[in-house]
Structure 1
């Protein structure tokens, strides 16, 4: 843990090992601890009332302009909503007050990385003690994530146990890639990396799932998804391949790729749609959603890649929930066991499920909430998990539940990373 109660970056790296198959980031417990001068602002932030919290931190800074915690947290509020100008302003303020603040450096490194300003991000990652990120991004020469083409529409080759699409690596034959918003980078198997002629620019040894694994990081020349080609992309691979349940899986597409586009996960139509992020495409997405009766929901991006919005479980009222799109899961949602008890969700304690999440052991029990809701999208009396993770979140704010793969099957979900909205509508995307 670091000084703002946030989780260590190495936990993220352990949790996002891909090795050619879907992976998850860790769900470690522990909410952020209020520092001096936080008060009600911290309580608002913890409750997911981010705009109100932001204003409260600004009031603190008017009275106490040297309050590092308030400056850092106000910057984090901006970063959650991709409000980069605010994020840079307040995180820079925090670093002027405390140049050695690792958390502020991590946040500012993430802020610059999201904008593809790698040359500015590198010294922040290095100051945060994240040498792997610093070496990796420093090795990317020129403009990263260069987009060629306007739209990529990839039919899914399968729905379960995880959606798969085809993509070309460095102009080679089609490979099978899954996608998952609990993974940051574009990852691939060591075999695909070797075939593509990749060479590591950074590496590290980590413990994952009870074994030691080497992770490698490099830069890929070309990645084609339907009518879209990405060039100059940071990529990850590991030394050992992992087979998906139905056979070999060549890699995984994470949030860093997806947030460069107006991205639609068309579960009902079984396709992944990537469109350039322009005012026109964003306007069309909003209009299509309104015609389909879908209200715009807020979209927040925590740490480098973890998506959140507002939803409810069993009449809880709207609270912050995690959006885990893609990946593999037969469940509709997961929640801490204590949350299931508090909401009186029927839980089957006779049938424990022992597994790993983010490389960490977790025990879950089947549970069946009366309703799971995200905007106008609902699922009733469905199969979910209640796990032994404590309530709260490692990101400083409470997360009610994680909405998983099976929840989205009747719907199409569009992520607008410019206006930071989520649209979820029943049926196929138009």
Structure 2
């Protein structure tokens, strides 16, 4: 069994992963306990019919799947799979009371169920209940996370200040912004929503006097590194300061930096505590304390720019998804797609093997690219979908990769494509993690 978090951590050590999202993961659909409420089957990559709960879930029809799982539980209250999946549906949309109810039910029915415990642990950390997550991480086999989060006291991610507008010091090969640690001088931070926690370099960790709560040794490329996890007092991003923040850093066996490309990386856990705007067109990162007023202004600005709200889902602590489409010579399909911001990649996205085949996307198999997926060697091929679309923003015949080893349903539902850094360059994207809406418009923020 592959541990997908090992892939995530190793990709952080590299600074980013070109094929992030292509890592092998453990599906959450349990074939041994298929939950059926009626008759139906998956039709291709983008459609599902009937009332088969797992088929609906796999096709990204989460609301319908949730109702189907509820129907199963009405008839069979002891169905662990249905309880776990119904909780997962709630968690994808950050509906925490809903998610907690069903995931607790699943854990009560099967206390040793690793998947249910992992999802419940994630549910707690998204609500900043870090200590409550610890025992569930332990049951899920994540001892490092269990020790790290059990060590927290007080409220994490305390937000001070209202707004931060951070100009990008560069766009490529990865965007850089300035931030400071514990009141020190400004440092160069990249950001990547495919990463979970805030990362700092070994040098910055030493300067800030950070001490690890827990450390682990892991294989990395041709050697080994140490990954350390601790607690940061203060992280300032322009006009916003976050206090009591989970932080990680990595060192070589001699204690040096693994990479010197930047001073650290801002991951998804920081961004989902704020109303976050990636203004690619204006080359700035806009962060706001999320209030009804700031959310209303963001909606109004998006409407003025012609952007309709898109649904947003988050899987496995930081895997962001929305609804998009992709087209090839044989037509197009709309479904749940992965969306990543920041990082280090020259391609606009990943087109899954099954998607490329079904839609007849042009693939250049004469020019294989040797790259890495989470620091593991991988071979990808250039491909050129006729169109990739997110909301009203589209790119035609754009340069992408297809990786034959990338799973279609890494988190239990089909993800035909993943949209990367280069796709977003003409656009402004705002993420609202309370309403779970994504707004994308062409041009820079007003």
TM-score normalised by structure 2 residue count: 0.91
> Is residue 8–residue 374 contact of structure 2 (8 Å, CA) maintained in 1?
no
Distance 2:86 2:427 in 1: 34
Q: Quote the residue 1:27 is aligned against.
A: 23
Distance 1:352 1:415 in 2: 35
Distance 2:213 2:146 in 1: 10
Q: Secondary structure at the match of 1:85?
A: helix
Distance 2:12 2:342 in 1: 16
Q: Quote the residue 1:17 is aligned against.
A: 12
Q: Quote the residue 2:286 is aligned against.
A: 273
Say whether 1:215 aligns with 2:227.
yes
Distance 1:376 1:256 in 2: 27
Q: Quote the residue 2:44 is aligned against.
A: none
> Is residue 12–residue 26 contact of structure 1 (8 Å, CA) maintained in 2?
no
Distance 1:38 1:292 in 2: 43
What CA RMSD, in Å, does the superposition of the two structures yield over aligned residues? 1.6
Q: Quote the residue 2:33 is aligned against.
A: 36
> Is residue 354–residue 408 contact of structure 2 (8 Å, CA) maintained in 1?
no
Aligned residue among 381, 384, 400 for 2:397: 381
Aligned residue among 240, 245, 259 for 1:233: 245
Query: Equivalent residues in 2 for 1:109-258 (5 A)?
Result: 109-240=121-252, 241-243=257-259, 248-258=261-271
> Is residue 340–residue 419 contact of structure 2 (8 Å, CA) maintained in 1?
yes
Q: Quote the residue 1:334 is aligned against.
A: 350
User: Deviations for 1:209-255, whole angstroms, at most 9, x for unmatched residues?
Assistant: 343221000101111001001111010100132446xxx31110000
Q: Quote the residue 1:394 is aligned against.
A: 410
- The 3 A distance-change label for structure 1 pair 14 and 211 is farther
Give 5+ residue unaligned stretches, structure 2: 37-51
> Is residue 91–residue 99 contact of structure 2 (8 Å, CA) maintained in 1?
yes
Distance 1:37 1:191 in 2: 50
> Is residue 180–residue 253 contact of structure 1 (8 Å, CA) maintained in 2?
yes
Q: Quote the residue 2:272 is aligned against.
A: 259
Q: Quote the residue 1:420 is aligned against.
A: 436
Q: Quote the residue 1:103 is aligned against.
A: 115
- Residue correspondences, number: 421
Give 5+ residue unaligned stretches, structure 1: 2-6
Q: Quote the residue 2:45 is aligned against.
A: none
> Is residue 22–residue 252 contact of structure 1 (8 Å, CA) maintained in 2?
no
- The 3 A distance-change label for structure 1 pair 258 and 350 is same
Q: Quote the residue 1:291 is aligned against.
A: 304
Say whether 1:304 aligns with 2:317.
yes
Distance 1:62 1:388 in 2: 41
Q: Quote the residue 2:3 is aligned against.
A: 8
Deviating 4+ runs (over 4 angstroms): 23-26
TM-score normalised by structure 1 residue count: 0.94
